Structure 1
Amino acid sequence: MMKFDHLRKFCFLLLVVIISSGVFAQTNYYNVTKFGAKADSSTLNTKAIAKAIEAAAKKGGGTVYFPAGKYLTGPIHFKSNITIYLEAGAELHFSDNFDHYLPMVESRYEGVDVTSFSPLFYANRVTNIAIKGRGLVDGHGKKWWDFVEGYKADQPRSKWQYMFDSLNKNILLPDDPRQMTRGFLRPPFIQTMHCENVLIEGITIQNSPFWTVNPQFTNNITIHAVTVINPKRLAPNTDGVNPESCKNVTISDCYISVGDDCITIKSGKDLPGRTKATPCENITITNSTLMSGHGGVVIGSEMSGGVKNVVISNCVFDGTDRGIRIKTMRGRGGAVEDFRVSNIVMKNILYEAIVLNMEYGKSNPEPVSDRTPELKNIRISNITAYAKQAIRILGLDEMTVKNVSFNDLYLVSDLGVEIKNAEDIEFHNVIVNNKTGAAMKATGVNRITIDNFKNQQPVTGSSLISFDNVKNAFLYNNWPAAGSTNVLDVKGSSQNIFLNNNNFNLYPQPVSQPEALKDQVIIK
C-alpha cells in the first residue's frame, strides 16, 4: 500500500510539472487582445486581428480567439489552418467605410469573375479554415444597400467605380452587362475562393452587405447550426447561403431569414459560367428552418456551369416567397440534374410552393446550343404546403423539363398545378386543394402519369384535370370527389390518353373532348 501511495504522489507531481511547463496549455490559441485588439466597439482592430492570424500561421495554424466584447474591424483574410473562434458574448462589427475594403481582390459577383471590394471574411486558395462559436458577426450593410439602391446612371461616378473599371477591363461579361458597367459591386460577407475544408458553425450573422455565405470553387464545406438574419425588405440581394461552383457541401440545422433567397445553389452566369464550366455538385441541405426570403431553397438563376446531385430534406419553410425554386433561362446553359427533395413543410408561401422555371427571363426560341439550359431527373416527395400556387413547371419550346416525379404531396393553394413544355412527368398520391380553376393544367406535355391524384374540395365550373396538346398520358387509380364539371377536359392536338382502373361513379360523363379527339381518349 505504501508503494502505491508513493506512486500516486509521483504521478501527481509529474502532472503538476507537465501543466506548469505548458505541455497541456492551449499554446495554439491566439487571443486577439494579446495582439492589441480592443473590445471597445470603436477601435479599428483590423491590423491586430491580422497579427494574430499571422502568428498562428507561422506556427502551422491555430485558433484566433475572441473573448466576449464588441470588436470593430475591417476585412479579415484567412491563411491555411486557421480557426476564428467567437466566444459567447463576442461580437465582430465590420466597418461600413468602403475604403477599408481596399485593395480590391479576386472575387465573383453574381456568377461573373471580377476584381472587387474585399469580402468581409475572405479566403483564397487556403485549406482547413473555420469560423466557429456562439458569437455574433454584423456586416453593418445599410450604407452599402443605400448606395446601390440610390445610385442613378446619370450621377457622377465614384472613385470606387473608376477603380473597378480599371481592374476589370477584359473580364467576360454576361448577356446583360449593365450590372457590371455600373461598377459598384458590394462585397459578400463570407467568401472563400478555391479553398479546401471549410467549416462555419454556431455563429449568428446579420446585416450582410450582399450575399452572406458565398463559397466559390471550394471543396468540402460544412455549414452547421448557423443563424443568418438580414432585414426582409431593406437588404437587397442578401441571400443566406450561396455555394457556387463548389463540391461536397453540407448545410444543416440552420435558421435563415433574409432579404433574398435563403439558400441558393449556383455555378456562374452565361458566358463566364459556361467558360469556367465548374458545376456545383454533391450538396446536402437538411434539418433547417427557412423564414423570410424570395425562395426557401433555390437553384439558379446563375447555373451555367451546371448543378447536380442535390438532396434537400427535413426542413420547414415559413414565409418565403416561394418554396423549392429552380430558375434559369436561355443564355445560361448548364444542366440541373439528379435532384431530390423530401420531408418538407411549407406555410405562408406567397407564390409557388414548387416552381421549375426555364422562362425566368423572357426571350425568343433559339436553336439548342451550349446556351440552352436543361432541367432533368428531379424527385420530390412527402411535402405539405400552403401557397398561392401549388406547382408550376415551365419548359422551353426547344428544351422541355424532363423526368420529374411527385409522390405523396398535400398542397393547399389558390391555384393548382401548371405544366408547360415537359415530358416524363409523374404524379403519385398527390392532393391539390385549390380554390380556382383546374387542379392540374398541362400544356405541351409528352408522357405524363397521374396516379391517385385528387382535389378534396372540387372547384365548381372547372375540370379536375385539363389537357391541351398532351400526348401519351396514363391516368389510373383515381377516385375524384364530386363537384367538378368533369374529371378530364381534353383539347388541342392531344393524343393517346389512357384511363384505367379509375372510379368515376360520381361522373357519368368523366371526360370532355371534341369529336375529333374521341378516338384518342381510351377509358377502361
Structure 2
Amino acid sequence: MKTLCFVLACFLLTGARAQDKSEARSTAGDVRSAQDYVRAAPFPMALPALPELRQGIFLITDFGAIGDGQALNTAAFSKAIAACTQAGGGRVIVPPGLWLTGPIRLASNVNLEVQRGALIQFTRDRTQYPPQGSNPTPLVYGENLHDVAITGGGILDGGGDAWRPVKKEKVTDAQWKAMLASGGTLSNNNTVWWPGTEAKDYRPYMINLVGCTRVLFKDVTFRNSPKFVVDPNKCTDLTLDGINVFNEYYAQNGDGIDISACKNVLLYHCNVSAGDDGICMKSSGDWMTAPDSAALENVVIAGCHVYHAHGGFVIGSNTDGGMRRIFVTDCDYVGTDIGIRVKSNAGRGGLVREVYVDNIFMTDIVHEAISFNTYYEDMPAGADPNKRTAPKPGKTPIFTGFHISNVYCRGAAQAIALTGLPEMPVHGIYFDRVRISARTGLTTKDARDIFLRRVSITTEQGVPLKPEHPDDIRVVE
C-alpha cells in the first residue's frame, strides 16, 4: 500500500476564499439553513425567490376524484387545477388515498399539495399519454409558468416499469426470467428486454417544467419514472427542498434530478437513488454569443445524499450552453458508480467554470472517486458497444476553474482520472484537502495546470500519482 501526500506552493485566490468559508462553517458549529448555505457560496447569490401563492383550497375529491386506485382521475385533477387558476391560485389538495391518473398539466399560481398518505399512481396505459413532439406527454408538465409548486409528504409513482427497457447485465437471473415471463420484446442480441410489443425507446419524462419562474418542490417523493425523474429546463428561481427521488438501480436513463439550463437554483437536503446520474447539471445553447454568461448559473447544492447512481454530483454531458457559479457542499455519496463526475465530448461541449465542490464524503465508489472525461458517449439500450461513433467536431468541452476541497473517500477503484482533449486539455483544476483510498491513484491524459494542496492518496496497486507528463501536475512535497 502506498500513500502520497502533496502540498501546493501556490493556490488560486478564489479557491483560498472558498476554503476560508469552509473553515468558518466547521468552527461555527452546524450551519444548515438554506440561507446560510447560499451566503457561504464563493460567488454572490441570493436565495431563489419562492412562489407567491394564495391560500385558496381546492380538494380534488370535490371535482370527482376517487382514491381507490381503480378510478382514473385525470379529469378530476384537470378540473381542480382549472378552478384554482380561475380563482387566482391556491392549493390543489391531494388527500390520503391511492389516486390513479394520467398526465397532470400544472398551471401558474398553483401548489399541487400531495399530502402525507397520498399516493398518486400514474396509469400504465400508454394511450393516456399522447405524443408531444418526439416523446409522450410527460407525467407532470408545464411551460412558461410562474409561481408553481409541488409540495407535501406524499408520493408520486410514475409506473416506469411499464415503459423502461432493461439490460440483462443489470438484473439478477430471477428478475430477468420474471420479465421474460411477463411478455414484452427482446432485442436482436437478446440482451435488452422491452415491456412493450416493439424494441423502441419511446418514454415520457416524469416531472418536466420548461421556461418557468419561481418553482418549488418540497418534501414530496418521486419514484419509478419512465425516464428522467425531475427535469426542470430553462427555469429561473428554482428550489428543491427535502425531496426524495427513487428509481430502480437498473432503470435505463433513470436520472434522478437533472437541472437543465436553469438559473438561481437551490437543492437543499434532497435524497436520491437512481438508475443513472444522481444530481446532474446540463446546459444547451450557444454560449459563444455571450461569453460572460452561461445558460446554467448560480446553483447551490447543499446537504444532499446520493446512493446508487452513475454519479453523485454530475456535470454533462450536454454543456454547450455553458455553466458557471456552481457550489456543492456537505453532500454524501454512498455506492455510486462515480463520486464527482464531469463529462462531455466534442459536439456537446461548452465552457464550464467557477465550480466549487466542498465537504464531500464518499464510500464504496465503484469506479473513480473524481472523474473528468471528455470522451463520453451515450450507449442507448440495445446499442452495440463495439460500434461506437466518432465524436462530432465543434462544441469543444472546456473544463476549467474547478475548486475541489475537503473531499474524503474510503474505497474506490481509482482515486482521480482527468481526461481532456488534445486540442483542449482539462486545465485549471484545484484540489485542496482531499483524502482518498483507492485501488489505483491519480492519472492524467491531456490535462495541465492541475494543482494539489494537502492531498493524500492511498493506493493498493501502483504509484499514487501517474500523470501523462510530469509537468501536468504542480505539486511540492
- TM-score by length of structure 1 reads 0.70
Deviations 1:367-424 (A, max 9, x none): xx74211100000000110211100000111111110110011100000001121222
In the other structure, the counterpart of 2:242 is: 225
Match of 1:65 among 93, 103, 128: 93
Deviations 1:19-43 (A, max 9, x none): xxxxxxx971000000000011110
Kindly indicate whether residue 232 of structure 2 is the aligned counterpart of residue 207 of structure 1: no
Work out whether residues 318 and 349 of structure 2, in 8 Å CA contact, stay in contact via their aligned partners in 1.
no
Kindly indicate whether residue 356 of structure 2 is the aligned counterpart of residue 337 of structure 1: no
Q: How does 1:28-427 map to 2 (within 5 A)?
A: 28-102=56-130, 104-105=131-132, 114-146=133-165, 150=185, 152=187, 184-233=201-250, 235-268=251-284, 279-361=295-377, 370-386=394-410, 387-427=412-452
Question: Partners in 1 of 2:302 and 2:150 — Cα distance?
Answer: 20
Question: Partners in 2 of 1:206 and 1:403 — Cα distance?
Answer: 38
Question: Partners in 1 of 2:210 and 2:200 — Cα distance?
Answer: 21
**Aligned-pair CA distance for 1:64:** 0.3
Q: Which amino acid is 1:329 matched to?
A: N
Structure 1 unaligned residues grouped into runs of 5+: 1-25, 106-113, 163-181, 451-475, 479-524
Point out the structure with max Rg over C-alpha: 1
Larger RCO: 1 or 2 (CA < 8 Å, sep 6+): 2
Q: Which amino acid is 2:458 matched to?
A: N
Question: Partners in 2 of 1:201 and 1:282 — Cα distance?
Answer: 20
**Aligned-pair CA distance for 1:333:** 2.7
Q: Which amino acid is 1:375 matched to?
A: F
- TM-score by length of structure 2 reads 0.77
1:258/1:147 Cα in 2 relative to 1: closer, same or farther (>3 Å)? closer
Question: Partners in 2 of 1:141 and 1:275 — Cα distance?
Answer: 38
Aligned length: 390
Q: How does 1:443-458 map to 2 (within 5 A)?
A: 443-444=468-469, 446=471, 448-450=473-475
Question: Partners in 1 of 2:309 and 2:167 — Cα distance?
Answer: 20
Work out whether residues 145 and 212 of structure 2, in 8 Å CA contact, stay in contact via their aligned partners in 1.
yes
**Aligned-pair CA distance for 1:94:** 0.4
Work out whether residues 287 and 295 of structure 2, in 8 Å CA contact, stay in contact via their aligned partners in 1.
no
Question: Partners in 1 of 2:338 and 2:319 — Cα distance?
Answer: 18
1:145 aligns to what SS in structure 2? coil
In the other structure, the counterpart of 2:40 is: none
1:242 aligns to what SS in structure 2? strand
**Aligned-pair CA distance for 1:255:** 1.0
In the other structure, the counterpart of 1:521 is: none
1:429 aligns to what SS in structure 2? strand
Match of 1:438 among 460, 463, 467: 463
Q: Which amino acid is 2:296 matched to?
A: C
2:85 aligns to what SS in structure 1? helix
- RMSD of the TM alignment (CA)? 2.7
Question: Partners in 1 of 2:226 and 2:200 — Cα distance?
Answer: 16
Work out whether residues 165 and 252 of structure 2, in 8 Å CA contact, stay in contact via their aligned partners in 1.
no
1:101/1:307 Cα in 2 relative to 1: closer, same or farther (>3 Å)? same
Question: Partners in 2 of 1:275 and 1:35 — Cα distance?
Answer: 50
1:161/1:40 Cα in 2 relative to 1: closer, same or farther (>3 Å)? closer
Work out whether residues 347 and 391 of structure 2, in 8 Å CA contact, stay in contact via their aligned partners in 1.
no
Deviations 1:187-232 (A, max 9, x none): 1110001111110010111101100000011111101101111111
Structure 2 unaligned residues grouped into runs of 5+: 1-53, 169-184, 378-387
Question: Partners in 1 of 2:253 and 2:286 — Cα distance?
Answer: 19
**Aligned-pair CA distance for 1:65:** 0.2
